[in-house]
Structure formats: C-alpha cells, structure tokens
Amino acid sequence: MAHTHTAKGYSGLMDWITTVDHKKIGILYLLASGFFFLVGGFEAILIRIQLAFPNQHIFVGDTFNQLTTMHGTTMIFFAAMPAIFAFMNAIVPLQIGARDVAFPFVNALGFWLFFVGGILMNTSWFLGGAPDAGWTGYAPLSSIADNAGNFKGTDFYVLGLQIAGIGTLIGGINFLVTIINMRAPGMTYMRMPMFTWTALITSGLILLAFPAITVALVELMFDRIFNGAFFDAPRGGNNVLWEHLFWIFGHPEVYILILPAFGIISEIVPTFSRKRLFGYSSMVFATVLIGFLGFMVWVHHMFTAGLGPVANSIFAIATMAIAVPTGVKVFNWLFTLWGGQIQFSTANMWATAFIPTFVMGGTTGVMLSIPAADFQYHDTYFVVAHFHYVIVGGLVLGLFAGAYYWWPKMFGRMLSETLGKIHFWTFFIGFHLTFFPQHFLGLMGMPRRVFTYQPGFGLEEGNFVSTIGAFLMGIGTIVFFINIIVTARKPADALADPWDGRTLEWAISSPAPEYNFKQTPLVRGLDAFWKEKMAGNKEMTPAEPVGSIHMPSGSILPLVMSLGLFIAGYGFMYHTYWVSGIGIGITFIAMFLRSVYDDHGWHIEPEELEEKGVKV
C-alpha cells in the first residue's frame, strides 16, 4: 500500500537544505536574494563614493571596473532573478490551487545551482580579483586571458553564470509545466491571476533566452580556458558574435525581470482599489505581446556596432512597438485606480509609485530606440539613468511592493507599516536623487564606466547629488532589514486574508500549510476567492472530498549535485582537470542515485491535516 510510507523528518538546518517544499524554497530564494542585494548595493555605494567628486583616487582603474562589473552582474543575476523566483515559488502554486510545483526535486536543484553559481562568482574577490570586463562581458575585452595565471576574474564570470544559468533554466521549465498542468478545476487560462500569467510568460522567455547566453558563455570559456578562437578576429573569430549572442539573451532577460513586477502591480492595485483589474484580457494579451516582441529588439543595444541603416531601422521600429502593449498596461492600472476606494498601505504606495517611475524609464527607452539619437546617448550616463529607472524604478519597486503584500502569506507575520513607509520615502526619494541627475550628466557627455572626471565641465553637482541619493537608498534598505528583524521577533499571528484579497492564496491560512489546500478548490471565475466572498461564502468550494495527500520527500541530492559543479568550476579555472573530474563525478553519482533510488514520497492522512502547518 502507498499509505505505509512515513515522513522522513528532518528539523532545523537539515530540513532547509534538503527541502523540496516550494514555500521553503521560495524563502531560501528570498534570503539569497537579500544577501546578494546587500553585496550589490555595497558595490554601488563604493562606485558612487569614487564619483562623488572629480579627480578622486579611492577606487581607480581595474578596481573600479571590477566594482561596476560585479555590481551589474550581482544585481541582475543574483539579486533580481532570485527575488522573482522567490515570489514565483511562494505564490504561483497557491494562486493556481496546486499542492506543489510539478517537479519539487528540480525546484530545489534550481535553487542550489543558482546559489553556488553566485557564491563561486563572488569568491573571485578573494582569489586575485573580480571580473572586470563589464557586466555585458564584451569580447575581446573578456576573452583576453592572463597567461601568467594570476588574474582569473572573467573565468569566475563565465563559470559562475553558467552554473547559475542552468539553475534558472530548469526553474523556468518547472514553472512552465506547473502552470500548464497543475491548475485547479475551473482555473482556465483566462481565469488565472495576472501574476501567474506573468510568471508563465517569464518562464517561457527563460526557456528561449537562456540557451543563447549558455552558448555564448561556453564559447567564451573555450576561448579563455582551451585557447579557442570564437571571438579572436586574427584567427577567424568575430567580436560582434558575442554582442549578438549576449543581447539575444540580454533583451528578453530585461522582460524576464520586469514582467513579474508587472504581475505584482496587477495584483496589488486591484486589491487596494477594491475593484477588479480593468481590462484583464487586454492585460493578458499585452503580456504575451511584450514577451513575443522582446525577442525582436536585441540590436537596439548595438546601434553603434555598424550593422547598417536597414538593420538599425528595422530594430528601431520593433523597439518602439514594444511601447504600445506597455502603454496598454499603464492605462489599465490607472483605470483600475480611477474611481476605486484606494487604500495607501505600504504595498500600495510602492505599487502606485512604480507606475510614474516606470513610465519615466520607458520614455527614455523610446528616446534611445531612435538610432540617430542613440549615437549621441550610447555609452553615456543617459543609458545608465534609463535602465536604472526601469530596473530599480520598475522591478525593485515592484519587488518591494510584493514583499509587503505577500509577507504575511510567506511568514505569517505582518511587516510594520510605519517602518515600511519610512523605507518607502527614503528609498524612493533617494532613487530619484541618484538617477534623475544622471540623465543630464549623460546629455552633457559623461561616458559610462569611467572612474573619474575632470572639474570645470559642469559634472560636479550632478555627481554629488547622485552620491547623496545612493546613500539615501542605502538607508532605506537598512530600514527594510530592520523591519524584517523586528517582524521576525513577533508571534506568527497574521490573518489568512489581511488585505481582503481577491485570489486563491488568501483562501488558506498564513503561513500556508505544508500541503497548501486541504481540498483542491473549485474555481468559478476570475478573482476566484473574491467571487466566493461575494456569493457569501467564507471559503472556497472544494472540488474533491477530504482524502490523504501525497507529499514529496526531501533530498540532499540537489545540494550535492550543485556542489559537484561548484568544485568542477574551480578545476576548469585553474587548469587542474582532475579536480573538474572529481566535481563532475560527484554530480553524476548524485544523478545516478536519483535515478536508481525510487522515492515514493509520503502521505498526510485526513486526521493529521489539522495540525500540520509550515513552521518557519
């Protein structure tokens, strides 16, 4: 009988490193993201200290290049991506009425691969210097290998991103399958919450975009470690090939980042306006269209690479076209707010601040889409201002909104609203102080990635204001972490539905029990939980009788597989191939064990259902 399996119970740290529960993996992603966010933010503040005054000599030359490279790479791959995966893990299965993701083991493997990739890359600081070729890693700058073997910076970039990229890729596949296959009865595609829709499109983009960066990184690895010539022009290679491969990944990547933020805003704005999202079907269509067009615009990063006027014109028009579905979204949010009973909770302050800030970033994006104008803007601080307005003013504001909104669902505790509002105002004002002046610095001709500038060109004021803003953002972030610590010391007494929410995740207790739903819910319309509340029901109508619930067993193998690749990475880097052999061997042994050992999981019986909640 299947019912004879008992739970393999771990507790404490062992429980967390063997877990396959999507809610715990979401929390692990959030912790890792928070750590890397602090690291990347610290690097940013060091950059701003160096640029506060002209002719400073604090971080010069290579050190400055290492700071800018690591700041960009850390923030995008190791702070923003895991934060998105944290919310996808914690919320998507709850929103579609599922008990877990489709492949719990793969979910854990995805997290550990990402994590060891990020750690591998950051160990470079202590092993001779960090990557210094810019976060975009342009060849031939990134393919110059130090034959003396002292400086391995870019090798850490190549191997760390490859390992983390595998983790992200399998995570994307996992959520694609979960959302397509695991929806509750009645949850048709056009009844899915907007956050689930954006998670679906994002997962599709990950599946299609990450292979391009994987190919690019493998080629760069061959150039650097095995003396290949993919990007070496004298031996028949091509530098521009790297730019194409990187940006064919890189532009969809920015939509991978921003779409989940759009989804978060589309959940929060209706909840705190007390009305349904305006134009739901057009929002879905706009999301799909943004995902589709995102693959057709990569050359706008390369207008100055000399591809010619025809190519530039085609990609310029495609880039301008993306503004249309994005505009549809913005107007739908505004119409949702229009006439609503708006409550300015901390979550909604972040969400409403997101809208005008993101529009500013989008406006400079349309300016940059004009090739003739881009020849002036390219590689100046105008571009830096643009993408920080969309990534920080878009993604990060959305992530903070999501954190305040879903914190009770993830941890069973409400973040302090007072500290939250202090966090909001310091961060928001600091953000605009930091990046608004950079538009003008760029228009005055200040190039990107320079570690100093001369006095007397009118660049002093803008840079000084920018540095003050960066410190304000830092203070805001510290307030957020204080808020988390204060909240963690309170008892876990959050209500199941503190915001009077509209979607399924608010129909179960906070934090969600281990099995999520005692009975799979029956979905009767868009905003499923709201529909039941309006019909006078206190909870969802079940779609099945109470029965025993099958649960997957935890496993240490995902961590072991990841550590194997971690070890192999160092072996390749230092040309000690027996170490690589050991590392890959460890990974293969773990894969073999996973294949031959058939783990059937365990069951929670109906009489146990009441007492099993997630303990954090």
Dump pLDDT digits (tens) for 496-523: 999 999 999 999 999 999 999 999 999 9
Q: Are 401 and 347 in contact (CB under 8 A)?
A: yes
| Structure token digits, residue 109 | 């493997």
DSSP string, 121-132: HHGGGGTT----
For helices 104-122 and 22-50, what crossing angle results, to 10°?
A: 20
Q: If you count them, how many residues does the chain have?
A: 616
Strand partners, 413: none
Q: pLDDT-based confidence at 258, cuts 50/70/90?
A: very high
User: Amino acid letter at 409?
Assistant: K
pLDDT at 344 over 90: yes
Share of residues in the chain with pLDDT > 90 (%): 93
pLDDT at 7 (0 to 100): 56
Burial of 340 (C-beta count, 10 Å sphere; 0-12/13-18/19+):
middle
d(CA 260, CA 271): 17
pLDDT value of position 599? 87
The CB density around residue 455, as the number of other CB atoms within 10 Å, is 10
The distance of Cα 301 from the centroid of its chain, to the nearest Å, equals 21
Question: If DSSP codes are grouped into helix, strand and coil, which group holds residue 542?
Answer: strand
Residue 29 contacts residue 86 (beta carbons within 8 Å): yes
Helix (H, G, I), strand (E, B) or coil at 539: coil
- Residue-level pLDDT at 607: 84
DSSP string, 542-574: BSS----EEEPPP-SHHHHHHHHHHHHHHHHHT
Q: What is the mean pLDDT of residues 345-359?
A: 98
* Separation between Cα atoms, residue 270 and residue 347, nearest integer Å: 12
Can you give the pLDDT at residue 151? 82
Reported confidence tier of residue 609, pLDDT bands at 50, 70, 90: confident
pLDDT at 613: 46
Cβ neighbours of 436 (radius 10 Å): 16
Residue 448 C-alpha from the chain's centroid? 24
**Residue closest to 161 by CA, chosen among 276, 256, 250, 238:** 250
Q: What is the pTM of this model?
A: 0.96
Q: How far apart are CA 378 and CA 586, in angstroms?
A: 46
Q: Which residues contact 130 (CB under 8 A, 6 or more apart)?
A: 66, 67, 69, 70, 122, 124, 153, 156
Q: Going by DSSP bridges, is the β-strand pair 549-551/602-604 parallel, antiparallel, or unpaired? A: antiparallel
What average pLDDT score do residues 195-209 get?
Answer: 98
CA dihedral 419, 421, 423, 428 (to 10 degrees): 180
41-61 pLDDT, tens digit each: 999 999 999 999 999 999 998
- The pLDDT value recorded for residue 109 is 98
Q: Please tell me the distance from the alpha carbon of residue 182 to that of residue 73, in angstroms, as a whole number.
A: 34
Q: Answer whether residue 413 shows pLDDT above 70.
A: yes
**Please, where are the H alpha helices in 489-556?**
528-534
Cα–Cα separations (whole angstroms), residue 180 to 175, 264, 340, 406, 414:
8, 20, 33, 23, 32
**283 has pLDDT over 50:** yes
- 299 with 310: CB under 8 angstroms? no
Through-space distance between the first and last CA atoms of the chain, rounded to whole angstroms: 32
pLDDT confidence band for 10 (50 / 70 / 90): confident
Give the dihedral of Cα atoms 388, 390, 395, 397; nearest 10 deg. Answer: 80
Mean confidence (pLDDT) of the chain: 95
Question: What is the rounded CA–CA span in Å between residue 580 and residue 571?
Answer: 4
Tens-digit pLDDT profile for residues 512-562 = 999 999 999 999 999 999 999 999 999 999 999 999 999 999 999 999 999
d(CA 101, CA 84): 16
DSSP state of 7: P
Place of tokens 């702070």: 79
Is residue 113 within 8 A of residue 564, CB to CB? The reply is no
In terms of CATH, what superfamily is 2-555+599-608?
Cytochrome c oxidase-like, subunit I domain (1.20.210.10)
Cα distance between residue 75 and residue 307, in whole Å: 30
- Given this model, what pLDDT does residue 15 score? 95
Structural domain spans, the chain: 2-555+599-608
Distance CA 406, CA 505 (A): 9
What string of DSSP letters covers 359-374? HHHHHHHHHHTSHHHH
- For residue 140, cis peptide bond before it (omega within 30 degrees of 0): yes
Count H helices and E strands in the chain, helices first.
Answer: 19, 2
List Cα–Cα distances, 135 to 66, 69, 125, 207, 378, in angstroms. 9, 4, 15, 22, 16
- List, for residues 567-584, the tens digit of each pLDDT value: 999 999 999 999 999 999
pLDDT of residue 11: 83
